[in-house]
Amino acid sequence: MTTTRKTVRETPQISSEQAKIIEEKRQRLTEIAEKAGQCRSCQLHSQRHNCVAGEGNPDARLVFVGEAPGRTEDEQGRPFIGRAGKLLTNIIEAMGLKREDVFIGNILKCRPPNNRDPQVTEIAECINFLYEQLEVIEPEIIVALGAHAAHTLLNTNTPIGQLRGRIHEYLPHPFAKPIKLIATYHPAYLLRNYSKDNRLRVWQDMQKALTELGLPIPGK
């Protein structure tokens, strides 16, 4: 279902056939979100206000994946809209993009109590929703935000500091075409450890994503 995509800085000029494919992708993502909203496979559903399935461009070239919704996200049913989300939005805009150009999701679709780390069993029950979303979107680049997202998608326990700074490959299934993956620090980590060095490391990772997409780096 791969389509020829324009860069996000170009005025979209798509054929009726491409428009139909994009609409089909949008509908499929809606179906996945509805299925996630009905899920009762783990105990997190009993405490949630909203399932946070993800949002954005159904034909996005770039997908951001975090670990789980926070309190604000749980209340409003949208990903990355709290303090960490505002920082992510700033990062996206610094790249010369908008939130609607990309897709934003999480490993878990429900908020863990007190924002604790996702448990292995919870990830196992929930991860297929994200896998299905990625299969529909067919992004060129995935940016894994934080250790939980990177470890889950890459099936590794290597520390995030060692994973970032290079291109990895996410393999949807053994016979699929690999998708390039860039691991970086979670915006919440940046808020807790806000320093010039950490900001620079994340910006270097975002520049790498832009380069892989063939997009210009703002300020250069």
pLDDT digits (tens, 9 = 90+) for 28-73: 999 999 999 999 999 999 999 999 999 999 999 999 999 999 999 9
Contacting residues for 92 by C-beta, under 8 A, at least 6 apart: 64, 98, 99, 101, 102
Question: Predicted confidence band at 12 (pLDDT cuts at 50, 70, 90)?
Answer: low
CA angle 118, 140, 80 (to 5 degrees): 40
Alpha helices in 43-157 (DSSP H): 71-76, 83-94, 120-137, 147-154
List the chain domain ranges: 17-213
Res 189: pLDDT: 95
Query: Which amino acid is present at 1?
Result: M
pLDDT recorded at residue 1: 44
Query: What is the model's pLDDT at position 4?
Result: 41
Instruction: Work out the pLDDT band at 137, boundaries 50, 70, 90.
Output: very high
Q: What is the mean pLDDT of residues 118-134?
A: 95
Residue 96 vs residues 106, 186, 197: alpha-carbon distances, Å: 23, 20, 22
Average pLDDT, the chain: 92
- Give percent of the chain above pLDDT 90: 86
Compute the residue count for the chain: 220
Note the pLDDT of residue 102. Answer: 98
Domain 17-213: which CATH number of 2.160.10.10, 2.60.40.1180, 3.40.470.10, 3.90.1640.10: 3.40.470.10
Residue with tokens 């910006």: 203
- Pairing type for strands 62-66 and 103-106 reads parallel
The mean per-residue pLDDT over the stretch 149-167 comes to 96
pLDDT at 104: 98
Packing angle, helices 16-37 and 120-137, rounded to 10: 160
> Alpha helix locations (H) across 38-114?
71-76, 83-94
